[in-house]
Amino acid sequence: MWGERPAAIPLISQYRGLPRQVYLLLLCRIVTSMGMFVFPFLTLFLSGRLHFSDAEIGRYLLLAALTIVPGALLGGKLADRFRRKYVYITMVVISDIFYILAGFYCERLWVVWPILGGYAFLNMGNPILAAMMMDLTQPENRQESFSLIYLGYNLGFAVGPMLAGLMFENYTRWLFFGQASMTLCAALLIGLLIRDATPGEEERKRVAADKSRAREQAQQGSLLRQLARSPLVAAFALLASAYAFSYSQINYILPLQMADLFGISRGARYFGVVWSLNGLCVFLFAPLAVLVFKRFPPLFNMAVTGLMYCLGFGLYAALHEIGMMYGLVALWSAGEVVAATNSGVFIANHSPISHRARFQSLYDVIQGLGRSFGPLVMGSYLTGHEINSAWLVLGGICGAAAAAFFIMNRLVLARERKSQGLPAAFGPEDRANALVLSKTH
């Protein structure tokens, strides 16, 4: 009996021994995610409170998501030039001012503009936080560190949307006030607890001396010039945008489907439960996913994500009983966990130390464009098609992206083997060794 207990220990022990600052950042991310009240309910707010049509909602969500382009690029540039945490705190304070204004005027049509403003400045902070994580970690502990932060984010998210779902019907303005309060608290915690680790000359020299971190060495030149030197990063981001395009429909098509099936009041409550289940599933799956998938290369793992999305989204076309719809949350949440932990590690391991925030911002932009055009494209699609067929299309997109990731992984693996003087093709007898060769790709 006593011999069976240590079997579960690796799920916990893999998170021990990380930098102290990572644990502090975990606390800040939990607080931030608990306050994410507005965007998960934006579709229902626009349809149920402002009475926007499906097409109008799609156009507005496109405009909201497009704010990530100037927001992330500007935030990344500022974070690579100035102290990261002070830039982040400034962005959060400005965002909170917009959300407080939206709370006071949430019944006016023009409230859509302060919502856009708040979302734009919040987007500026995302690449800054990711760059801070890169600064605080090393390649050998990044998988566990990124996983832990993502786990904490979703732990808070398991609580936040459920509270927002209870407030939506009678206390709508508190969606905005509550988000402003929580994100401000998180920013203050970062200001007080987190050490600013923006790389200086000494850190750049340390990375330059480490041959195993050649891709992270400081570089001169613009973001576009560095991107031209890293076509693998661009291809990775473009394929991942297909997942973002499909995932965005959880906030667009799924609430519309639930409102059609169960009515707007019950649909709002059920949709709040969806996000709470998502947060709970991520909390439960993240440790196991890291333990299982860290032995495989990120590109292979991203292919696995696509298969999970393909089934998780596609089956919404056939399963309309609320219990079964809740069950599918576990499937696409598992894919989300694998994608989140591997995409961050991939970008971190391929970003020059001098361009970390900008590389992350570029990835965020491409992801944001996928999320941006998701509601618009599928909104237009829904004008002539049923919601069920839309889910089938999304499943097909994810399946195709999964195949592309798998092919990319094979090509990178073959190139790596060739550089080491090994045959490009390999058989089952050396498959495990081949996977180890491509772990950083």
DSSP notation for 176-219? HHHHHHHHHHHHHHHHHH-------HHHHHHHHT-GGGGGGS--
| Exposed / middle / buried, residue 227 (Cβ in 10 Å: 0-12, 13-18, 19+) | middle
Rounded Cα gap, residues 425 and 413, in angstroms? 9
- Residue 166, C-beta contacts closer than 8 angstroms, at least 6 positions apart: 272
Please tell me the predicted confidence (pLDDT) of residue 431.
46
Query: According to the model, what pLDDT value does residue 1 have?
Result: 40
What is the structure's pLDDT at 230?
66
Structural contact between residues 371 and 66, judged by C-beta atoms closer than 8 angstroms = no
pLDDT band, very low/low/confident/very high, at 205 (cuts 50, 70, 90): low
Instruction: Measure the CA–CA gap between 94 and 99, rounded to whole angstroms.
Output: 9
Task: Tell me the three state secondary structure of residue 294.
Answer: coil
How far is Cα of residue 51 from the mean position of the Cα atoms in its chain?
29
HSE value, Cβ hemisphere, 13 Å, CA-based, for 257:
24
Confidence of residue 421 (pLDDT cuts 50, 70, 90): low
Mean pLDDT of the region 355-371: 71
Report which residue type is found at 192.
Answer: L
Q: Specify the range with the lowest mean pLDDT, choosing from 18-27, 104-113, 201-210, 289-298.
A: 201-210
* pLDDT higher than threshold 60 for residue 2: no
Nearest Cα residue to 367 out of 142, 143, 126: 126
What average pLDDT does the chain have? Answer: 77
| Domains contained in the chain, CATH given | 19-198+223-437 (1.20.1250.20)
Top pLDDT among 75 and 332 is at: 332
HEC profile for 263-287?
A: CHHHHHHHHHHHHHHHHHHHHHHHH
334 vs 359: which has the higher pLDDT: 334
* Confidence label for 437 from pLDDT (cuts 50, 70 and 90): very low
Q: What is the mean pLDDT of residues 1-9?
A: 47
Asked if residue 117 has pLDDT above 80, the reply is yes
